[in-house]
Amino acid sequence: MKKTIRPLFIILVLVFLYAPILLLILYSFTDATTIGAIRGFSLHNYVTLFTTEELRQMILGTLWLAIVSAILAVLLGTFGAIGSFYSSKKINIFMSSLNQVPVINADVVTGFSICILLVEVFGIDKNTFIPLVAGHTLLCAPFVYLSVMPKLKQMDPYLYEAALDLGATPFKALNRIVIPQISSGIISGFALAITLSLDDYFIATYTKPSTFDTISTYVVNATKGAQTTIKTALWALCAVIFVIVVLVVTVSNLRTMRNSRKERAGI
Amino acid sequence: MQIFKLSRKSLGIPYGIFLILFVVLPLLVLFYFAFTNGQGHFTLANLSDFFTDPNTLGTLFYSFAVALVTTALCLLLAYPAAYFLATSSLKQKEVLLLLFIMPMWINFSLRITALKEILTVIEGNLARYPFANAVVGMTYDFLPFMILPIYNTISRLDPSLIEAAKDLGANERHAFLKVTLPLSMPGVISGIAMVFLPAMTNYVVLDMLYNSTYIMGSLIGSYFSAYNWHGGSMIALILLAIIILFTILTGTDQDDRASGTGGALL
């Protein structure tokens, strides 16, 4: 009996996680406005999704914000980690502790405090996008720092010294030796930064210009409204995002699986 | 050589300035606003208001209730799932694990939209079970964050420990209770840390499921909409105090969250 309970439980949890999304995706291909109604096949949600200017701008805006803040976060977080790693123990602890604050803090608190500081105290206009980009960079950079730091610790410290002894300039040694050694940390930090920015609601709400929306803020507002064409077009958006996530996960895992197989073959 | 050593360290300077500007300074500003009134005079009124107003106290207790029940439900679902998966003899365990984690990468507002549509069908009217909806919504949102750390700790356990326990006469149940369960506690604790605090503050989940009861996060939202920076800052500080207390109590190494949210992708 026990042997059947185990897979059954796993399947039940997976059903809980996926049934709502899959049903929503199924209904995105119909002209129904609520789930449960049996209606005909239709692609009108996808037409609305790709032709409505408002939706297009909101999606592009979300992507731009994610890319810009992820790049800033990677630059700040990576060099921050390198600088902190080679500094005295005191500075290292100081920076690593400050780095933990946004990680453990609630996003509501982070967003609210950034808003007060930049908008209320410094008088920066939200329409400049400075508070929003600063907020999202603050959300992402600590995670880049955290994914780069362990790679620096694993690195052979003598490689860098050897490069210098062989005549490399410090810049070259950093560029040719250190960066390649920690590149996997930088890449996963970047991926993490993108997903964090894409999923954020709270920091964006408190710092964004009133006319700008990310997917999260747009969807939350749309569920309060009664506009069914927009509402069901968002079901189509859910389907598109689902497919993209499945593709990215499959491709990246096939690649890592192939790499580990190669490594095993090499041994 | 000397100049160069300076330059290697100085790479961290921009991030150091960034952290001071966007971590230290906002905290100071929060303190300033929390303990002053509209005229800029020092006051404890914001603090005493919070602890004397039955509404805000009720909000505090409601947040704790939502967070507690959500955490318990997540644990109840995540622990067996993670345990069964980690100890199964399947070859494709990683694929199944990915299935559990993948929802993390789908925008949470769209996932809650999906859940809302389903709950509407099941319940007819969402307003009937506001508390249950809040808990189900939060569980739906945060479950992957509970499964991953528990799975990681259990799958790293040395299987010979269980064999040793069995050789010494323990049956399946005893081996689990005396060996696996205690050794998996670090994963459980970091899972709790990743669910409990967001469940106290993520008021959008409630909003989207038509639960108009406030939790701690909603208080900040409402002060924000009313441009009441002083009241909002006090709530933010109180939340911060809860978060710090919680972090000290659980002693969680938050590096887990970094590996938790993206590690499985690459």
Measure in Å the smallest separation between the Cα of B163 and chain A Cα atoms: 19
Interchain CB contacts (distance < 8 Å): A and B: 273
Rounded distance between C-alpha atoms, residue B242 and residue B232, angstroms: 15
Q: CA of A251 to nearest chain B CA: how many angstroms apart?
A: 10
Of A13, A24, A184, the CB nearest to B77: A13
Instruction: Evaluate whether residue A102 is within a structural domain.
Output: yes
pLDDT tens digits, A159-176 = 888 888 898 888 888 888
Which among A135, A36, A110 is positioned nearest to B18, based on CA atoms? Answer: A135
Task: Identify residue A114 by its one-letter amino acid code.
Answer: I
Number of domains making up chain B: 1
Interface contact A104, partner B, CB < 8 A: yes
What percentage of chain A reaches a pLDDT higher than 70? Answer: 96
Residue A262 lies in a domain: no
Q: Is residue B232 part of a domain?
A: no
- The answer as to whether A265 is a domain residue is no
ipTM for this model: 0.89
Per DSSP, B105 falls in state G
A251 touches chain B (CB under 8 A): no
Asked if A207 has any chain B CB less than 8 Å from its own CB, the reply is no
Q: B158 in a domain, yes or no?
A: yes
**A97 with B214: CB under 8 angstroms?**
no
| C-alpha count within 13 angstroms, C-beta hemisphere, residue A227 | 12
pLDDT tens column, B153-187:
999 888 888 888 888 888 888 888 888 899 999 99
* Identity of the residue in B15, B98, B257 whose CB atom sits nearest the CB atom of A103: B257
Would you call A19 an interface residue with chain B, using a CB distance cutoff of 8 Å? yes
- Write out pLDDT tens, residues A210-241: 999 999 999 998 887 767 788 889 999 999 99
Q: What is the pLDDT of residues A178-197, one digit of tens each?
A: 999 999 999 999 999 999 99
Q: In this predicted model, what pLDDT tens digit does every residue of B28-49 receive, in sequence order?
A: 999 999 999 888 888 898 899 8
- Judged by DSSP in three states, A30 sits in strand
| Structural element, H or E, at residue B183 | helix B181-183
Range of the domain at A169: 51-226
A87 → closest Cβ in B12, B77, B236: B12
CATH at residue B60: 1.10.3720.10
Write down the pLDDT at residue A266.
59
- Torsion sign across C-alpha atoms A88, A89, A94, A96: positive
Q: How many domains does chain A have?
A: 1
A58 assigned to some structural domain? yes
Nearest CA in chain A to B265: A249
Q: Do B12 and A95 touch (CB under 8 A)?
A: yes
- Asked if the structure places residue B187 within a domain, the reply is yes
Tell whether the torsion through CA atoms of A44, A45, A46 and A52 is positive or negative.
positive
Q: Which domain holds residue B60?
A: 55-213
Tell me, yes or no, whether B27 lies in a domain. no
Q: The domain that contains A90 carries what CATH number?
A: 1.10.3720.10
Q: Does A61 touch chain B (CB under 8 A)?
A: no
A150 in a structural domain: yes
pLDDT in tens, B183-214: 999 999 989 988 999 999 999 999 899 888 89
CA distances from B30 to A66, B20, B168, B220, B237 (A): 27, 14, 58, 12, 7
Whether B219 is covered by a domain: the verdict is no
The one-letter amino acid at A44: H
